[in-house]
Amino acid sequence: MKPFYGFPTWHIIVNLFYGIILLAAALIGFLLVHSLMIILILPAAYLLWRGISWRRGGFLEEKLRIREEFMRIVKPVDGERILDVGTGGGLLAIGYAKAMKSGEVIGIDIWVPMAGGTSLENALKNAEIEGVADKVEFRRGDARNIPFPDNYFDKVVASFAIHTIHYKERDKAFREMIRVLKPGGVLAILEPEADRWIKWRVDEKLKEKLEYLSLRNVQFHPITMTYPKKRTVYLIVGVKSK
């Protein structure tokens, strides 16, 4: 059985929407305008197939590859305490738990409806499927109010979670993630380069903000992803000042 690590909700809606429009245009055009319009059925079928295959988690290999890439840059260390914020189906938490012989790995999320189709039950099941049910813990917890004491974790990680938080609340999440990090601990978040609709951008301003919030040595590592389209995303890594 394969784990399920969510789907890109918005891209599925867009693909299905345009797929249905093209399908309708192909059929109506064929019947009422010109027989050649049936050719539109090809792009329609492609868009519908893409939407449906993503809905079924059809890019699992790519998600696992990205996880490997993440952990190649931010290496697991035995005995550490790791928090995965906005864990979804538990992708990073489970990855670190698999790679570590000892330590404590916890994933938190509020499991926003329509944010990838994951749930607490789904994360627990994935941990079982990946053989680490006894090495990882999941619980409900908000990035803006993390239910752990100060200076608790060696690493706080997140993938594609922070940019989804409303832009007015993101600083709260950054503050919280840094608060629960031990001095010298590592914050590592994987995010898209930019999205102007939600006011997200990986740039000097973000770096300055993280430094202001007491991270040092902030670096942006570009990673190429192939879904929902070929693009560069960034692993943002910084160390909490001592």
Ligand X SMILES: C[S@@+](CC[C@H](N)C(=O)[O-])C[C@H]1O[C@@H](n2cnc3c(N)ncnc32)[C@H](O)[C@@H]1O
Is residue 111 near ligand X by the rule CB under 6 A? Answer: yes
Which residue, 99 or 110, is less far from ligand X as judged by CB? 110
176 binds ligand X (CB under 6 A): no
Helices (H), ranges, the chain: 9-32, 41-55, 60-73, 91-99, 120-129, 170-179, 204-212
Q: Which of residues 123-152 bind ligand X (CB under 6 A)?
A: 142-144
By DSSP bridging, strand 181-192 and strand 153-159 are: parallel
What are the beta bridge partners of residue 9? Answer: none
Instruction: State which residue, 94 or 206, has the beta carbon closest to ligand X.
Output: 94
Nearest by Cα to 124 from 107, 147, 103, 110: 107
Smallest gap from Cβ 88 to ligand X, in A, equals: 3
| Site pattern 52..91 for ligand X (x: CB under 6 A) | ----------------------------------xxxx-x
DSSP 166-187: -TTTHHHHHHHHHHTEEEEEEE
Q: Tell which one of 15, 122, 126, 159 touches ligand X (CB under 6 A).
A: 159
- For the bound state, the minimum distance from the C-beta of residue 66 to ligand X, rounded and expressed in Å, comes to 8
**Considering only residues 6, 19, 51, 57, which one is a binding residue for ligand X as defined by CB under 6 A?**
6
Distance of CA 89 to the CA centre of its chain: 10
Rounded to a whole number of angstroms, the minimum distance from the CB of residue 24 to ligand X is 30
Q: How far is the CB of 73 from ligand X (least distance, A)?
A: 15
Task: Return the structure tokens found at 70.
Answer: 């993440």
When the beta carbons of 80 and 109 are compared against ligand X, the nearer one is 109
The answer to the question of residue 96 lying near ligand X (CB under 6 A) is no
Contact 217, 238 (CB under 8 A): yes
CB 130 within 8 A of CB 94: yes
Per the CB < 8 A criterion, the answer to whether 138 and 130 are in contact is no
Point out which residues bind ligand X (CB under 6 A): 5-6, 86-89, 91, 109-112, 115-116, 118, 142-144, 159-161, 164-165
